Structure 1
């Protein structure tokens, strides 16, 4: 891995540790992270087509892997889909690929982006930070792991509400103080 990839992985780990796990935005993340079952892959794709090829490879690898070795994958792609609207449109292609690979019910893909914006919010709404990552990232998850986690956390809808409350209490200054991104293109 070259030094640029090392920096991207380090920024992603920083975000995971300080925001996702540190703020408990995902109560299921800590256990797989501390067991080193999270695969972080940096894609050098510069076009959506190249990213799609990389996504197919990573979906198959995750599907074929022992969950004790790799439970989830973060496919970080800093060179493509920098605009959130482009990224958001690409998610339809992602869903189609999961279906074509006959992985529905086995794997799903969640999304994180430096410019993530929930429908009905303004760009500066602090609640958007729950899904903002240092770089555009596709999160490949096992459905079985999600099901087990949901059993342990009986009201998953409350997670979203609690996350919004956490972001509102933290505020813009608190989020910025975490220094978890987003990073500028080319850095």
Structure 2
């Protein structure tokens, strides 16, 4: 089930924050998220974009803002865009443009963008596979990250390469009913 597109900015942020706290941090899907969240270093931005061009402009603005602010103030940004790219295939196609923006802004190696979507499906999985929930968020979301912060987090985390496999195991053990109990989005196979 896609979230209502009439959500206010405050609702979109509250829903996304709940997902971050309950799923990403609560299930330890990203062991690096807890620290920046607890320090208040996550910036939540809701885009009013209704087309790709407007979203690209918002993305460029947020990439610049993240680059110039001190990491101690804002270490990462979640660019939530409820009114554009609700179709997962369109979202995936847009990610090519994200990479072009990073190259054009000369931000490769400085910032990167991770992707989350309510219908996220890895290429090698069925759409209703529970493991897709590792990248499922309540709204289409672009996660802007500092490469230096990510490098430090990975260096400090033993067996960082095993995070992905551990996440798959966690979600398989949780199952659709467990995901639904988190209250962060419809489990796979429901509400399409």
Report the equivalent of 2:40. 36
C-alpha displacement of 1:155:
2.4
Is residue 110 of structure 1 aligned with residue 89 of structure 2? no
- Aligned residue number for residue 4 of structure 2: none
Pairwise mapping of residues 9-158 of structure 1 onto structure 2 (< 5 A)?
9-158=13-162
Q: What TM-score do you get using the length of structure 2 for normalisation?
A: 0.92
- Number of aligned residues: 180
Q: CA separation in 2, counterparts of 1:15 and 1:28?
A: 15
Measure how far apart 1:139 and its partner are: 0.1
- Whole-angstrom distance in 2 between the partners of 1:153 and 1:71: 18
DSSP 3-state at the match of 2:115: strand
After TM superposition, the runs of 4+ consecutive aligned structure 1 residues lying more than 6 A away are none
**1:185 corresponds to which residue?**
none
* Structure 1 gap ranges (5+): 183-187
What RMSD in Å do the two structures reach over aligned CA positions?
0.9
How big is the shift at 1:154?
A: 3.5
How far apart in 2 are the matches of 1:173 and 1:123? 16
